[in-house]
Structure 1
């Protein structure tokens, strides 16, 4: 009972701290909300005596603390009017770099895949979705449309695409996929401020569904997609989710990328859009590699893994959610 109540306390503190950041009107309260978020997320992560979890919690604490120190120093510089040391654009750039360190974006990404590989799917799901909302909100407040930020967006999308090619751990692959999506979200912030919220919501829905599906069958590596017995309908759901996360039309994941492309074409950012689109095509290669294992529906499943053969329940909710996009396109044509 005590363990459950403490987990509820820290989970509610994690949620409330992010809401505190989103509703703040000055930088100090944003910093306070982020510090509460760090201190409430670490106990959730370290819920059992495990050397891997202790390493990941220490890695998370050190990285986030370093980023928070840079952030609070820039806030104090701005508050006490030391403008002769730094220009306003320089301060915004340093604040944005500290947030990129919190998000695990290139070139500050080395901690993120290693930490993801040491955690269970529940914590991976939180780290890829909820924990990115507050830093991304700070990025939206401080980002400026210049060549440096464009370079960071291109680096994030390309690094997330290329570095994920050489891994068989699904958690590491999803961490590099998250870097690629963070680059897309930053481009949404540059083109149209409100667009990143829609992208973040749709991305979070897809990642939550994917993480819950991987948790259900305790899948950590690509070869386990073929070894474990998974019902055919669940395999089809996984296949649709992977194509949706990759941004293939007509699935739901294509919608935010489609809108981001339209705004980037309107802003005449053709070269950046070309690099981001090419990187998204590269990410499809490791989704297709996972799909190739799933596509062998029943051929290599072992007899001793037929434990849920009599389970007739089909999880259709993932299929319905990922097929919302054609209905949205149909409604847009009628409007």
Structure 2
């Protein structure tokens, strides 16, 4: 069977439908089974579309298999009425799910894989593959552990992402920072978590598809887009959005999360996360600088005419990226 047919018939439907099957599961064993199904469906993506597929596939399999083993073992132990050890079992189940998501201090495998995979696999790993662990974490979590991991994720992502030229590593640390907000949201409200995750996935999708199209891996490669004004504008405002800069679309998901978290959690933690999110703006600044310098020597009237001639598809996504969808807050509230 050809590779494309195998991926189209078996793998892609399996990886797309597994999170939806998981939401209808009513036992820890069925959740574990769907996790393994999702694991085995992502490995062909790694094998078929990456240069270092042997190392990446083995590393991903070992990490996910170990965390799945912890998950199924301690979830079975929960069925036994050891009330003195219930807290320990809950913590171990949480740790197994956090390892699957790549949260600090278990993030090294996630950064390494993101730095060695192609853009489409990076998109899947940073968004779609986090759905099942996060929904599983909603069923049983320790509040103080989530507070600790969220604070640690915010701090490490804001500090470790400052000195990198690789855009894949920058996107990785950005994903960890957004993951800290998603972890806080899933404790408070499933609706705010869904809105935040959906918004992040849309913005991430729009950025990675363009980076994949032009095969951009490092910051200095943005100069290759010097004559492509459409893509420069599109990438610039999408990076503004993912960094949470108002009045971009990405700011609305942070704004709604801050309003909800302000009413339901410890204020110092929220303030710390806001400060750390502001620091992530610094490692996006180098990307902004490279993109803005592409317009430095351009005749502004020519640039305006090129901007008017955008095709309809680019105009639509540019509009979505630039303006906040403030109407989304109506049904949230």
**Given that residues 67 and 100 in structure 2 are in contact (C-alpha distance below 8 angstroms), is that contact kept between their aligned partners in structure 1?**
yes
1:235 to 229, 232, 244: 232
Tell me what 2:166 maps to.
169
2:279 to 273, 282, 302: 282
Tell me what 1:270 maps to.
267
1:115 and 2:113 aligned: yes
* Residue deviations 1:25-61 (CA, integer Å, cap 9, x gap): 11111100000000111011110573x2221111111
Structure 1 residue 231: Cα displacement: 1.2
Unaligned runs of 5+ in 1: 302-308
Structure 1 residue 318: Cα displacement: 2.4
Instruction: Name the structure where helix makes up a greater proportion of residues.
Output: 2
Tell me what 1:320 maps to.
319
Q: 1:49 & 1:167 partners in 2: Cα distance? A: 22
**Given that residues 166 and 218 in structure 2 are in contact (C-alpha distance below 8 angstroms), is that contact kept between their aligned partners in structure 1?**
yes
Q: 1:326 & 1:10 partners in 2: Cα distance? A: 34
Partner secondary structure for residue 295 of structure 1? helix
2:130 to 132, 139, 142: 132
Partner secondary structure for residue 92 of structure 2? helix
**Given that residues 20 and 33 in structure 1 are in contact (C-alpha distance below 8 angstroms), is that contact kept between their aligned partners in structure 2?**
yes
Structure 1 residue 300: Cα displacement: 8.5
1:1-335 aligned within 5 A: 2-8=2-8, 9-47=10-48, 50=51, 52-79=52-79, 81-83=80-82, 86-87=85-86, 89-146=87-144, 148-229=145-226, 231-298=228-295, 314=311, 315-325=314-324, 328=327
**TM-score, with length taken from structure 1:** 0.89
Partner secondary structure for residue 190 of structure 2? coil
Q: 1:326 & 1:46 partners in 2: Cα distance? A: 39
Q: 1:207 & 1:230 partners in 2: Cα distance? A: 24
- C-alpha root-mean-square deviation of aligned residues, in Å? 2.3
Count how many residue pairs are aligned between Structure 1 and Structure 2. 320
Q: 1:192 & 1:327 partners in 2: Cα distance? A: 19
The 1:7/1:27 distance shift into structure 2, 3 A limit, reads same
Q: 1:84 & 1:115 partners in 2: Cα distance? A: 39
**Given that residues 250 and 326 in structure 1 are in contact (C-alpha distance below 8 angstroms), is that contact kept between their aligned partners in structure 2?**
no
Q: 2:50 & 2:28 partners in 1: Cα distance? A: 36
Q: 2:53 & 2:272 partners in 1: Cα distance? A: 36
Structure 1 residue 299: Cα displacement: 5.7
Q: 1:65 & 1:325 partners in 2: Cα distance? A: 40
Q: 2:160 & 2:154 partners in 1: Cα distance? A: 10
Partner secondary structure for residue 4 of structure 1? helix
